[in-house]
Each structure stands twice: as structure tokens, then as C-alpha cells.
Structure 1
Amino acid sequence: MRPHYNGRILLSCYCFLLISFSLYAQQKQPVDYVNPFIGTGAVNGSLSGNNFPGATSPFGMVQLSPDTRAEPGWSTASGYDYNDDKIYGFSHTHLSGTGAAELFDILVMPFNGELYTGKQPVSSFSHTDERARPGYYQVRLKDYGVNAELTTTTRTGFHQYTYAAGSDRNLVIDLMHSADKGSWSFRITQAQIRVVDAYTIEGYRIVSSWAKLRKVYFYARFSQPVIKTVLTDGGHVKNATNVVNGTGVKAYLQFKNDTQPLLVKIGLSPVSITNAKANLQAENPGWNFETIKQAAMQNWNKELQKITVTGTEQQQQIFYTALYHTFIQPNTLSDVNGQFMAANFTTQQLPAGKTHYSTFSLWDTYRAVHPLYTLVQRSRTADFVNSLLAQYEVYGYLPIWQLWGQDNYCMIGNHAIPVITDAVLKNIPGINKEKAYQAVKQSSLQSHLNAPFDVWEKYGYMPENIQTQSVSITLEMAYDDWCLAQLAKHLHKNEDYRYFLKRSQFYKNIFNPATNFFQAKDDKGNWLPDFDPFQYGANGGNPFTEGNAWQYFWYVPQNIKGLIEMVGGDKTFTAKLDSFFTIDKQSDHINNNASGFIGQYAHGNEPSHHVAYLYSYAGMPAKTQYYTAKIMRELYTTTSAGYAGNEDCGQMSAWYVLSALGFYPVNPANGVYIFGSPLFAQATIQLEGQKKFIIKTKKQSDKDIYIQSVTLNGKPYLYNYIQHSTIEKGGELVFTMGPMPDANWGRDVLARPME
């Protein structure tokens, strides 16, 4: 007898399962919203971000990404431009959003045809055949019929190449590929490729460019044996040898025809080939590409879940991509055994469980990136600080801009100081406070490039005829001195506190009350003639750094109240801010980093980043809310030109992340966040110890941008700022918004930000 089935029950079960699966499929994770193509290519002459779309792991040593130029230059500092249509290969190290091109180490390119012709393999590609997610990148190389897939672990790159059936299966490993060899006095000092066996090659290169004497070692394994090898140096074939040394070293490899994809895995190390091999064996011992790919995406999802938000698809794409960009660097520079290359080129050993990092774009990242890390990357923050201190121990002073363990001295100020001060004052565990203090103090007394402290002490400002970029350096060093003074106070070093607090007032010595601007003086105390507040400086030969007098006027984050008094009070200060955001006049020579304009405000570069929040100090928080909402909605998009300027190792992104949450650190080292205009209906910050800080926004919309009231843990909250110490306790902050400014909220003197 056949069983009797009820068709309706079966249909109902089927529908239930279908609906359940559909709902599950719709439950996106944070990693699903990230679009690595945001900020990878300009549109209509805009700046884009200078980001790369390739695979990397959180804070990883390896950034495995396509290079769309034979020698990437300033306009393609990440190696990739979304507007290009050719790929020259996939190199293992890249910078994220910087204004200068560097790295591009160990290029790999699959191709077919004759194994060696003397020409560089290159292929066209289309964005329709290209995909990217955190930890994964894929593209079809049209000229060779090769589908290329990339993924990473922290210290290794993993390639999967699927060749067209019946085609030659060739590969080039190129140690000559680099940034434009005409920039930064570039040179390859030495390189080597050694064939170990049919499945293995190893080597290194030593490069001097933006960073000096970078040593990059690699160890590569193939899933299939090499059947033919051509080794070259500078285009000259080296016959009958398994090793080639030189400055233009490449290996052309041929594999047997096979239906299976060719897998290539490469470990990197700054220390040795032995360590590169150990990194590969520890992090990727097998040959399962999908497993490594999924692990990379899971690692990213774990990091991105540290802040979760509820918003529109576009808002979440921008937010999670921004958060993703903040977690790309600083980059791991220690091997699995804890060894790393110190700034004096010696091999140092870390304690177990610690990581050494590099890629510190401090002039950019001290402003918002590092304060963000103190919220959601506390354990890494200790390693970041200890990595900065490691340079001081062997080099004599803290980093200015550190890359691959070497200081390139790019930019001005001593902005490791606010990073360290902020971490110590927030009681980040794992930092030796006394050691940190000595490093900060000595780095503020010993003269070095762009920081002649003997001049600083003698004149109480930087004379332009002695030290160029004098106004910007005076303002920024005064802030660094304030940070040092606070650290001294925290450690009860009262004499030092008074000494450095006095130096932090040196900015007053270059304020000209006749023009209401900070201006350059010579060493006789005379104002430089022909002052033009619209005239831009670049990185030398002008009193201002990548900005003008309008943009640098607001840079006294340690004493905004004093700045307000200096210009005549709240009304005068607010009127000057109004002019700043509305005057459209531009100099004939705008600095290349100036972009994202709202009047004189230039969101595309860092000196402007805190300015919209200054209205709150003068009792006009509604204008802070107006401009922060405007910047978030107009200057961040989901396109390849998604940023208003260079992303700068996470700073452009961190501004958005914090501002979208509803607050921003005008002074990056005092633990105070100024309220702006929160973007999301709900945001949750995952804190240590299973605590959460939840931010809810009632009446959240593109029109409801003005705060009407705030509650903290159910009680009225009357201030227009919140302290870090309050957030780290956990709790719930609720904003009620409206389409018009509230006449009273946040304007009272007692409600204004503390300093």
C-alpha cells in the first residue's frame, strides 16, 4: 500500500522553507556592505581616495592587489585607478589612500604565449569581469583568458589562476616592478631570485625610495611543478643557473597543461627568507583557496562587527567601507616568531603575543583614526604605541611618518605625541607610562627634520626665513607641546608640565590682530610682506603646509576658547566661521591636496577636518549639525570617486565613521567628542568586557538633521559633547532630531565642550 501524502501540507512546508531561506539570505553581515572599489578612481577630475581594491587582512602585512600602471605614480599611489583598462600584475604590498606611491613588492602576473619575449606581460580587463570583497579580489585577464583570484592571510598572499583550456600556463615573478623610478630618488639596491626546486622559489629585494633600504623577503610555493624557467636581470637572460642577482630581477615560469587551476602562495617577511617560509607554513600550510578566502572574510566580519549600524543600503555601504579602510593599517611588520626589523636595521624580538606595526601616517591619522582605535581596537592600540616607542629606542626620537619600519619624515609636527598621550590618558593597558613619557619628552627637545627645537625655544615661533612651513609648524608643535604637558601633569611631573604648557602658547606669537590671521614672521619679528590668506602652500617654500591661512586659522585644538577670545568673542568667531564656509574665492595656485570645497573649507585634506565642529564652542551647535550633515551626505558616495580627497590611511574614513555616530574629537588627545548630526537610526559600539554603547536617533532622516534633545541612559543630557570615559562604561545615548534648529539646545555656556 502506497503512503498517502497531503499535498497542502507539503506545499505549506515548502513555502515555509522557501521563505525562511529567503529571509536568511537577506540577513546581510557587515562584510557584505563593504565595497572596496569606493575611492579607487576619480570622476571628472576629482580626487578619489587613492584606495586599492585588492585582497588584504585586517592590519595585514600583505595587500595583494592589481597594479594598473607599469610604474604607478602620484596619481595612482595605491597602484590602481578605476579609470584604467590594463593590468600589469598583482603585487603584494600597497598603501591605502596616501598621496605618494610606494611599495608594490613582488609582482606576479599570469600570461600565455611564448615564455620570454623581453616584453612585460600586460592584459586588458573590464569591470564587468571584476569583483572585490574584504579579503578577496577577482578579475578576468581578457588578453590571456585567465581568471585571477586573490586572497590573503596576515603575512601571506594566495593566488588562484584558472587558464583557458589548452593555453600555455605561464607566470612571471617580477622584483623590478615599482613606483615611478624617477621619484623619491628611487633605486633597487639588490634583488635575488633562487629556484629551490620544481615547486618552490625564494628571494628578496632591497629598495630605497620614500622609505630607505626596505628589505622584503619572500618564499613562494606552487601547486604544480615548473617545467621551464627563464631568469633575467635587466632584460638579460641568465642561462644554466638556478639563481639570479641584480637590480632588475625577474623569473618567467612555465607549468604543464592541466585542467586544474594553478595555485601560488607567497609568504613575506621584512627579516629573512627563513621567516617568510615560516610565515607561510604557519598561516597557509594547505592548498584550499576557498578555505583561506572564507577565513579572510570571517576575520573582516569579526572586526567590522565592532560597530554595527542600521541605515539605508547606501549609508551602510559607505559606513562599513569606511570602517574597513580604517582597519587596513597600521600594517603588521613582525613575523609569526615575533621577530621584526628595527629602525636601525637590526632584528629585534617581541614578547609572546605581541605584534609590531608600521605604516604610521601620523599627520593624518592622529586626528580621528587613533581616537577611533581607542574605542574599538584597544589591545592593538597598545601594540601601536609600543611600535612607535620601538623606533625611539634605537633611533632617538618618535616617528613622523613611518613606512616599513623606516621614518620617511614626510609632513610636519611630532604627531606620535598626541597618539601616545591619548592612549596613556585613556589608560590603555600594556603601555609603560614612564617609558612613553621619556620618549615623548626627548622627541620634543632634540632637534630633527622640520623640528628645530633650538629655534623654537629661542624665538617662541618658527621664523619663515629659518624654517619653512613656519606657520603650520608653529601651530602644530604648540599642540604637540600641550599634549606633552598633559602627559607630564598626569604623571605628576609638575615642572615639565609648566614648561611645556608655556611652549603650547607659542601660537599666540604669530597671530596678527590687524588681519585676524596667523601669519609668518622672520627672525627679526617682522611680518612677511604681501600676505594673502588665500595663497596655498605645499610642503616647503611657503609658511603653510598643504593649505592656506584660512584653513590653518582654526588649528588651536588645545585652546578653542582662547582662540574665540583672541578674535573678539562668540559673535566675531561665528561670523569668521560663516565666512570660512561661504567665501568661494580661490588662489590661482591651489595645492593638489585641496579638494572637497565648501567655501574655504577643504574636506579633502586634514587641516579642515575639525572645523565644522567649532561652532559648538561658540554657542551655535546647530551650525555644526548643519555642516557635518552636509559633508556626510554630499562628500561621501559609493562611487569610485567616493572620497573628497586622499583617504590617507583611514583618516578620511574615520572622520565619517565618528561623525556618522554623531560625534568627533576636535582635540584628539583630551578624550572629548563634540556632537554633530548622527546619521543612523541605531548604532552599537562593541566595547571590551562585553559592554555596549548604543546610539539611537529618533526622527532620523535627511531633513531631520538638528538635535532637539538628548538623553543618556534615560536621563536628560544637556551637554553638546560626551567624554570617552562615559562611552567606555557602556550605555544608551538617544538623540531626538528635527528639521529646524532648536533655539535653546546646547547653546548655554555650561553645555559647551570642555577643554
Structure 2
Amino acid sequence: MRILFTTVCVYCLSMLSCLAQVQEKLTRYVNPFIGTGAVSGSLSGNTYPGATVPFGMVQLSPDTRAEPDWEIGSGYNYNDGFIAGFSHTHLSGTGAPDLYDVLIMPSTGAEKTRTGEPNQPLSGYGSRFSHSDETAKPGFYQVRLKDRDINVELTATAHAGFHKYTFPLGTRDPKVVIDLDHSMKKGVFNCRVIAAQLHIVNDHAIEGFRVISGWAKLRKVYFYAEFNRKIRRSDLFDGGDEYFDQTLLNGTDLRAVLNFDIPNNSPLLTKVGLSTVSIRNAKQNLSLEIPDWNFYGIAAKADAAWERELGKLKIDGEKQKKQIFYTALYHTFIQPNNYADVNGDYTGIDFTVHKASHGFYSTFSLWDTFRAAHPLYTLLQPERTTAFINNMITQYNDYGYLPIWQLWGQENYCMIGNHAIPVLVDAALKGLQGIDLKRVYQAVKGSATTDHRGSPFGLLNKIGYIPENRQSQSVSLTLEMAFDDWCVAQLAKKLNQKDDYLFFMKRSKSYRNLYDSESGFFRAKTDEGVWQKPFDPLKYGGNGDSPYTEGNAWQYFWYVPQDINDLINLTGGEKKFLAKLDTFFTYNQRGETNNNASGFIGQYAHGNEPSHHISYLYNYTSQPWKTQYYVAKICRELYNTSSSGYAGNEDCGQMSAWYVFSSLGFYPVNPASGVYLIGSPGIKKATIRLPLGRRFEIMTNWAEDKIYVQSVKLNNKPYTQSYITDKMIRSGGKLEFVMGSKPNLNWGIEPENKPTN
């Protein structure tokens, strides 16, 4: 009996353990404050802590400046102690500011006109706050406004924000301020409000719109807001002019101050629906997504939506690792944003209303996200990726070329090249459902042959490279366009377009025309073939007036992801390539840098995207163990759980996607090849949920000191290749790593075990 009892107990404990694993909530590991503010001597991720749902249009979050500017593109800085209000749209991790639509702030006391004081748009409604009275989790944000002791809670749906304000006992004059002038600093990107309207609909609702131009041009933002309490009085402002108890006001600098009757100090609830099309659609979005006043019910739905998305990739590991990992996955899934209304309406790039049957996605930071975020979407979000692709093709059809940096359906032309091309080709070659290969090919070929901002193909065809005296950022342009051309060639090959294949493959070698064998770098030339002087490989470029984009010659030397083996040959063979790569990671001298330079390991700068693939290049040599070393070092030293948890701008999921892939043990150096190079897994177990009920498991004996691959098995068979393919993963199965504290100098070094592109 004793043996039986023991057996039963062991069985029960096992079942309880399994049940605990099944019921473990992944959202509890997400910390939205990661990346929201820098500590001394570092950069932050420029993320925000507010409420949003996966890929949703609304991001309801506090703005800690009256006029958010370049250094806080997300609107929030963890180091600030002041909140100007809560606006409904934000960008996550970008290096440029925009949005901040429909700012709302609860208040008490008399409101005043602008004072000119920094960070306080109206002296009566901004407030100090403390992080000790602030919380954030997926789909929910809370803060206590210190100056008036108002507790603010926020949650969101795809197209609507939900506010809950709890005023202190005895509040005589509770009110809400709605500001339609709040934006990034006026003049940045020529930002200005072109037109706006406020309309008091009845004693429980207000509606309006604004047309604003900034980083995205001529954005139309419509809103409809309802309150659970009666509006007792309303005052409307246009700049310094006040209009008492007026129900309609048009202008360009509009604010409304609404006073409420709140019996027994009960909470004031505010629901706000948004639309790019009309007030009617904003109202419909609100009524369908938040039909009642159950605030915590909506917050629970937001949490459940995040739980579903995060559950597509489950890992086991230490708590801190899981916090960084799931916050990274959370940040990756914030965007692109579906800004089509519930009924499918959206405002197109031609400023007319269109209809989408599966949503319409925007916020495509493609110069950043084509590298890792989009390959991660093809793996974990295949249905949405299909929508992304079809939406990009819509821009091609309506605008003449694929997106470069699309924001709220408008092209802002930020960055160089046209990196929608690798995104489309990658999804097409992986066989994602719902993608028409001929339409994709028409779009990528057309975009790779039509001159437009950031892609001067006429110069490339005529000269064979981009000359610096004709267009700045010439070296980066030549190298990045060469990769895009390789992508077009691969789809041409698949579709048996032989002439196109030969044309684009030839042009994909254009980087060779800027290689200077004497200096050992890619350098700028004039249109007469003369090397530009002086030349300093340490000098950084920004976004113009330099041959290099947000990097230097050291970092751009490695940007030939389509043919690393040819880069090795250009360098003079593997021995010289290894020596240069070793120097890259150990050469600590700094030349002239800028704000894009951060997260350094030697010349490697993890804080910006041009460096992201470089640690994996040892896999093309006889020393793949060095890839393992540097990947583990980057994960360990350049990501953490603090407000400065990223080494640079998070950039709409790219910084996070790098960490997600690298923690799993592989990374797409060539993001359109379907090949992932093996690095150093940082988790004990991972399960990737795939379509058709398939699973791909990754098993390791990971420990902090075990960063080197000793051996690998794929589906229980020894595996010696230093890469795996997307096809292997999608087929389902199991990848097992045996890790150790010292390098296995023999694993993955044979020529047949190395990647070919």
C-alpha cells in the first residue's frame, strides 16, 4: 500500500507540474517598460509602455512631453517625471517622431491657456508622476497622477481606447481635457495641423477630427468618444480663444474642457474609437469593439489576445531570460498595424477610401525589419504576412513602387533602397498561401527598375554603381540595392524568367565596383571613377552627406548577404577574411560617430541594423565557434530587463526579432534565402507552433557558461551543418543541441557543412 501511495503521489505531482506548465501565462513575463528610457551613457529602445493589442491601430500611452521630439519618438521617456496626457497612437522604437493623436487628460481645477513652460501644454492639466505608482502589462497601463491624486487606467482594442479615471474623494469639479493640437514639435517634418473640428454630440459624447501633416503627410484622424457620466459643461478652445458652452468649433489649435457630474466619486469611464475614414466609422469601430462599460473585461480580452500570439512560441528557461524574450516577442508583434476599420474601409495612399477584406496594414519600417522581423513573421504570422504582402502590392499598383517606409498608409521615403523587395520574395519563395507569384514578381521587378527616392536605378544601370557626387549614401545604396537585385533574380529564376534572372544577377554584383583592394573597404567613387578623398573607415554617416547610411566603412564592409563567399574571395581568402572579422570585433578605436552608433563590441554596433548579421559570418569559415561566442555575448551584454534594455532604437520589432531568433539558436543572415545560420541558443527548450498542427522543438542543455555547440541532432540524427533551412522548420521536428563551456573546434567546419549564401 505504501508503494502504491508513493506512486500515486508521484503521478499527482507530475500531473500538477504539467498542468502548471499548461496554465502558465506568458503575458506575465512581458515588461513594457523595457526600452523606454536610457541610463547614463546608453541609449534606450524608444518604446512605450501603454496599452495596445497585437498589430492594433490604437496604442494608448502616456506622453511625457508636450511636444515629443526626436529623442523620444515613442512619446514616453522613463527618465521623465511629468505626463502631458494620454494619446491614442504611437510608434514603437523608431528614431523619428510622429502620431500622438487625440490626447486626453483628466484634471481638476481651472484650466488655463498655454504658459510656454517646457513640457506643459496647459498649466492646468499636466501632472507629475512616480514609477512607484505606475504599472504596465500587455493591453493595460496604470498611473497615479501625483498633482491631483487621480488614478488613471488604460486598455485598448484594435481601433479603440478605453480610459478609467478614479478621482480623489470630495472632488468638486472633475473634468477631461481633449487636445487635438498635441503632436510632435511643430516644424519637424514641417509638422502642422491643417484642419480640425470638435463637436459636442450630446451630454455623453464628443466627436471630431484633425488633418495633420508630419512625417506621414496629410493624415486624417477621426474620433468618437463616449462617457459613462453626464457632461455638465463644455468649453472649447482654439489657441487662446475660449468659447463657452459652444457645441461646434473648427480651427487648427483645438482643445475641449469637459466638466462632469460624478456621483459618489464613482469612476469616470471614457471610450474613444478612431478611424482614418470618417467619424461614422470611428463610432462603428467603438460600438462593435467596446459595446458596454466593462473596463476590466476589455483589459482581459486584450491580455487574452496577447496570450494567443505569444503562445505561438513557447520557451523554457530562467525568469530573466523569459522576460527579455517575451518582451521582445511582444514588441515584434505590436506592428505592422491594421488601420482598416472594422468594416474594411481605409484611407489609401491616394487619399481616397478603399475596402480591404483582410485588413490593411501599415507602419512598415522596412530598412530595419526586412532583416529579421519579417522572416520571423513568415514563421509565426504566415496569415498576416500574406496580408502584409498583398497590402504592399496595393501600394505598388496605386503608387508605382513598393513601400520604403510606410506610415498610416502614406509613404514617408525614410531610408534607402526598397526593402519591401526581399520581404515579398522571401514570402513568395517560402510558398505562403494566398500570394500570387506573378503579382509579386511584377511588383518587385517594377520597383527594382523604376527610379524613385532612395533607389536611383538609372545611375546604377549607366555607371554600375552609385557615384557619391551624384547621390550621397552611395556606398550603402550600391550594396543594399545589389542585395535587392539578388532577391528579384531568385524569383525570376523560379518563374523561368531567364533574361531577367541574368540581368538582376549581374546587377547584384555591383558592390564589386566599389571595392578598393588597397584599403580593403567599399569606398565612394565619383561618376568619373575616382575614389573620393579623404577616406576614414571609422567616420560615421547619418542619412545624407556621407557615403554610408547610419554606419561607417567597417560596418558596411560585411553587407553582401547574398554572396558571403564572394566577399571572402574579394578579401583575399578565408585567412584574411577571418583576420578582418577578428579585428572588426576587437578594434575599439572610435572615429567621428553620431546617435546611430551604440552597443559597441569593437567596431560592431548592435544598436543599429547594419551590424546585425555580422556576428554570424564566422559560420562561413572554419571557426563557427566564434559566432557562438559573439552571439552569446551580445545576448548577455546588450539586452536586459531595465528601461535601457535595448542597445539602440528598437525599430518596430527588428532589435527584438534579432534576440528572438538568436535565443532559439539561429538567424537569417540572408533574409530572403530561407536559410538560418546556427549560433548559440540561449534557452533550454522552445516549441514553435506551425500551421496544420505541426511543432518544431528546440532542446538544449543551456547554462550561462555553456555557450558553445558541441553537437547537434535533427530528428534524432547527427547534424553537422552550421545552418538549417526554413523548410526543415516548417516540416516540424526536433533540433537538439549539446552545449559546452569550451569550443568544439571540429563542429560545422567542413566545406559541405557551411552555408552557400
- What band does the TM-score fall into relative to the shorter chain? over 0.9
Of 542, 562, 569, which residue of structure 1 is paired with 2:566?
562
For 2:111 and 2:37, locate their aligned partners in 1 and report how far apart those are by CA, in whole Å. 33
Could you tell me which amino acid in structure 1 is paired with residue 686 of structure 2? A
Distance, in Å, in 2 between the alignment partners of 1:153 and 1:215 is 20
Deviation at 1:241, TM superposition (A): 2.6
The answer to whether residue 204 in structure 2 is matched with residue 196 in structure 1 is no
1:49 aligns with 2:9: no
Shift, 1:350, TM fit? 1.6
Does the aligned pair in 1 maintain the 2:623–2:745 contact within 8 Å? no
Instruction: Tell me which residue corresponds to 2:473.
Output: 469
Contact 2:563 2:756 in 1 (8 A): no
Structure 1 gap segments, 5+ residues each: 1-15
332, 347, 350: which one pairs with 1:344? Answer: 350
Matches within 5 A, 1:51-130: 51-116=47-112, 119-120=122-123, 121-130=125-134
Instruction: Give the letter aligned to residue 92 of structure 1.
Output: H
1:396-417 deviation line (CA, Å, top 9, x unaligned): 1111000000110000011000
Equivalence for 1:205: 210
1:754 to 748, 753, 756: 756
Identify the residue that residue 338 of structure 2 maps to in structure 1.
332
**1:115 and 1:254 in contact (8 A); partners too:** no
> 1:123 and 1:581 mapped to 2: Cα distance?
46
CA RMSD for the aligned pairs? 1.6
* Deviation of the 1:239 alpha carbon: 3.8
Q: For residue 739 of structure 1, what is the aligned residue in structure 2?
A: 741
* SS, match of residue 128 in structure 1: strand
Cα distance in 1 for partners of 2:491, 2:326 equals 34
Report whether the alignment pairs 1:639 with 2:645: no
Q: Does the aligned pair in 1 maintain the 2:234–2:244 contact within 8 Å? A: no
Amino acid at match of 2:77: D
Alignment partner of 1:689 is 2:717 = no
Query: Which residue of 469, 475, 491 corresponds with 2:495?
Result: 491
Q: C-alpha displacement at 1:446, in angstroms?
A: 1.1
Matches within 5 A, 1:27-426: 28-116=24-112, 119-120=122-123, 121-167=125-171, 168-239=173-244, 241-258=246-263, 259-351=265-357, 354-426=358-430
Residue 104 of structure 1 deviates from its aligned partner by 0.3
The amino acid that maps onto 2:231 is V
Runs of 4+ in 1 over 6 A off after TM superposition: 19-23
Distance in 2 (CA, whole Å) between partners of 1:320 and 1:186 is: 35
Q: Distance in 1 between matches of 2:727 and 2:228?
A: 52
1:44 alignment partner, SS class = coil
- Per-residue deviation, 1:624: 0.2
Aligned equivalents of 2:579 and 2:603: distance in 1? Answer: 14
Instruction: Compute the displacement of 1:494 (Å).
Output: 1.2
Deviations 1:420-470 (A, max 9, x none): 000000011111211111111111111111222111100000000001100
Q: CA deviation at 1:260?
A: 1.4
When the two structures are superposed, what TM-score results if normalisation uses the length of structure 1?
0.96
- Partners of 1:166 and 1:257 within 8 A in 2: no
> What code does the residue aligned with 1:629 have?
A
Q: TM-score, normalised by structure 2?
A: 0.96
Residue 576 of structure 2 corresponds to 572
1:146/1:24 CA distance change after superposition, 3 Å:
farther
Aligned-pair distance for 1:240? 5.2
Q: Which residue of 2 aligns with 1:661?
A: 664
Tell me the secondary structure at the aligned position of residue 633 of structure 1: helix
Q: Distance in 2 between matches of 1:23 and 1:329?
A: 32
Contact 1:90–1:109 under 8 Å retained in 2: yes
Match of 2:119 in 1: none
CA distance in 2 between partners of 1:729 and 1:84 (Å): 48
C-alpha separation in 1, matches of 2:61 and 2:535? 45
Corresponding residue of 1:10: none
Identity within the alignment, %: 58
Shift of 1:116: 4.9
Query: Within 1, Cα distance between the matches of 2:697 and 2:395?
Result: 38
Distance across 2 between alignment mates of 1:661 and 1:245: 54
Q: Which residue of 2 aligns with 1:9?
A: none
Report the Cα distance in structure 2 between the residues aligned to 1:270 and 1:117, rounded to whole angstroms: 29
Is the 2:675–2:726 contact (alpha carbons within 8 Å) kept by the matching residues of 1?
Answer: yes
Alpha carbons 1:483, 1:669 under 8 Å: kept: yes
After superposition, what is the alpha-carbon deviation per residue over 1:153-200, rounded to whole angstroms, capped at 9, x for unaligned?
A: 111000000001111211001000011113111111011111110111
CA distance in 2, matches of 1:300, 1:332: 16
| 1:21 shift after superposition | 12
Is the CA contact (8 Å cut-off) linking 1:116 and 1:230 kept in structure 2? no
**CA offset digits 1:531-589 (Å, max 9, x no partner):** 110011000000000000000000000000000011111111011000000000111x3
Deviations 1:90-114 (CA, angstroms, capped at 9, x unpaired):
0000000000111000000000012
- Cα 1:612–1:149 change in 2 (3 A) is same
Q: Distance in 2 between matches of 1:562 and 1:115?
A: 67
**Alignment correspondent of 2:703:** 701
Deviation at 1:740, TM superposition (A): 0.7
Q: Work out the CA distance in 1 between the residues paired with 2:183 and 2:440.
A: 36
- 1:4 aligned partner: none
- Contact 1:342–1:390 (Cα < 8 Å) also in 2: no
- How far apart, in 2, do the equivalents of 1:309 and 1:211 lie? 38
